[in-house]
Amino acid sequence: MNKFLTFLTLSLLSFSTLIAQQKPNIVIIVSDDHSYQTISAYGSKIASTPNIDRIAKEGILFNRAYVNNSLCGPSRASLLTGKYSHKNGYKDNEKSHFDHSQNSFAKELRKAGYSTSWIGKQHLGDTLEGFDYFDVLINQGSYFNPEFKNQKGELRIEKGYVSDIISEKAINWLNTLNKDKPFCFILGHKATHRSWHPDPQDFGKNDRKKFPLPENFYDNYDKREAAKIQEMQISKDLLLDYDLKIFKSEEERDKEHNFYRMDIDDKQKYRAYYAKVKKDYDSHQFKNPKELTEWKYQRYMIDYLNTAESMDRNIGKVLDYLDDKNLTDNTVVIYMSDQGFYMGEHGWFDKRFMYEESFRTPMIMRYPQKIKKSREVNDLLMTVDIAPTMLEMAGVEVPQEIQGESFKSIIEGDKGKRDILYYHYYEDGIHNVAPHFGVSDGRYKLIRFYNKINAWELYDLSRDPREMKNLYNDPKHSSLQKRMKKKLKLEIQKQEDSEAMLIFEAS
Ligand code: SGN
Ligand code: CA
């Protein structure tokens, strides 16, 4: 009898281990401000991202993945909770506080037996909940010798370059894991956030390219009041010293917070490299503001792409690790950014607007056990959809309060469920972008700006993909306008965004 019981217990134990092993592992790599325009898998001719492309070759490239609120903290809060900003409480970076006691997909997975962690940039404070392990950058973090805080509350300055440190920490954590448990970890990269400080070994990698100006670089913002007043213009808001590292003197450079953290040998490499850039700048006798702006644009692109090099390389290290440990087949890997970014479109850098370049985010997913190779998907999806999808894939019930729609059906080769995208941006500070909310059905987009600008905008993306022609109040499109307003109202009601409803009703 005893023997039988032991046998039974052992069989049950190995059975439950088997079930646990069948659950997919989940790795979500979230970069910061990385644009699809600079990812070769998305057809970029100006950038090469071989490791990100590797995920696409082995999985799905999502052409229409969007964020709920195009800003770092709010976007990550939606990813974690599956809820819009007005429900998870993290509306902007400047005033919001993220309540970590609320539920998240990581908490649900942990309850279901997953080992969970967040490593790198999170930007939602530094006392996370729901993770067995975390080791996160303090706020935005620094490119060199960055400071981290872990779940024991220990603060540490780590020596080196941020992208290397983050992937090393991730691999170290993976090495500590109990092989019988599935894992879920989120790896938050700092790159490619402003002010684009490359690893010195990547200086020169993109310097010989000549970057063509986007077609609408010289936008006059006709009939777009919010676009007119923003402060994210390459011509006037991208700074020669802070952004492009051209300082009046080395003493000035040393005062800048990114530089004083560097070790002396990195500082010397920076000095030497940017001395050449300054020489080039000095040698130009800029005859008019346009020439200077176009020179700044080239330098912006170079620094941005050189910064992305290390991140791509480090993504490769994590993929190699999964291969080496035979984990690739049963691991879902998602690569995404917290939002898109302007690479000169409308004359801009930064994000925030509901226009495509910042509303859309790159998103690529691999899961060899279930996903066929090299698929491209045009179905709509949003950041809030990731939480319910991961839960469904892990066989965990999706909590009621989650607002996102699972896209598991897309992964399985079917159509997605989503036919509308709802957006709400709140921050009313740096870069002077008026708060706004709106809907898009993939072809038409309606936006309502409020606070400092009270205005509506309406676009037909099939005819006007660059969003240059605001059709709002154009009599030819009055029925479209009505239709889109109805859709917006329905969506505001469905998502219970009472603040948006008040503004909608008042206008
Ligand atoms: C900082 C940047 C801004 C950027 C925000 C938000 N300025 O304030 O350019 O828009 O972060 O970025 S900087 O002086 O720090 O470079 S986010 O990724 O956190 O949303
Ligand atoms: Ca960001």
| Ligand nearest to C-alpha 230 | 1
Percent of the chain with pLDDT over 90: 91
Atom of ligand 1 nearest to the CA of 193: 18
Calpha distance 199→266 (Å, rounded): 9
The torsion angles phi and psi of 185, rounded to 5 degrees, stand at -135, 150
Q: Report the alpha-carbon distance of residue 151 to residue 427 in Å, rounded.
A: 29
Nearest-5° Cα angle at 239, 238 to 240 = 125
User: Which tens digits make up the pLDDT trace of 66-118?
Assistant: 999 999 999 999 999 999 999 999 999 999 999 999 999 999 999 999 999 99
Question: 265 - beta bridge partners?
Answer: none
Q: Which two tokens stand for residue 149?
A: 């805080």
Peptide bond into 195 cis (omega under 30): yes
The tokens of 278 are what? 């300054």
Three-class SS state of 3:
helix
Of 214-218, 338-342, 503-507, minimum mean pLDDT range: 503-507
Element (H, E) at 493: helix 478-495
Tell me, in angstroms, the distance from the centre of ligand 2 to residue 480's CA.
33
pLDDT tens digits, residue range 4-27?
555 555 554 444 444 445 899 999
In the reported structure, the alpha carbon of residue 170 is separated from the centroid of ligand 2 by a whole-number distance in angstroms of 20
Residue ranges around ligand 1 (CB below 6 Å) = 32-33, 71-72, 93, 123, 140, 193-195, 350, 430-431
Between CA 496 and CA 317 the distance in angstroms is: 42
d(CA 13, ligand 2 centre) in Å: 44
What average pLDDT does this structure show over 344-357?
A: 98
Residues pairing with 362 in the sheet: none
pLDDT number for residue 16: 47
CA distance 344 to 25: 38
Distance, CA of 503 to chain centre: 28
Q: 31 CA to middle of ligand 2, Å?
A: 8
Q: Whose CA is nearest to atom 2 of ligand 1?
A: 194
Q: Which ligand neighbours the alpha carbon of 241 most closely?
A: 1
Task: Collapse the DSSP code of 119 into the 3-class scheme (helix H, G, I; strand E, B; otherwise coil) and give the result.
Answer: strand
Indicate the pTM of the whole model.
Answer: 0.95
- Half-sphere exposure of residue 6, counting CA atoms within 13 Å on the CB side? 3
Among residues 67, 56, 78, 79, the alpha carbon closest in space to that of 377 is found at 56
How many Cα atoms within 13 Å fall on the side-chain side of residue 150?
11
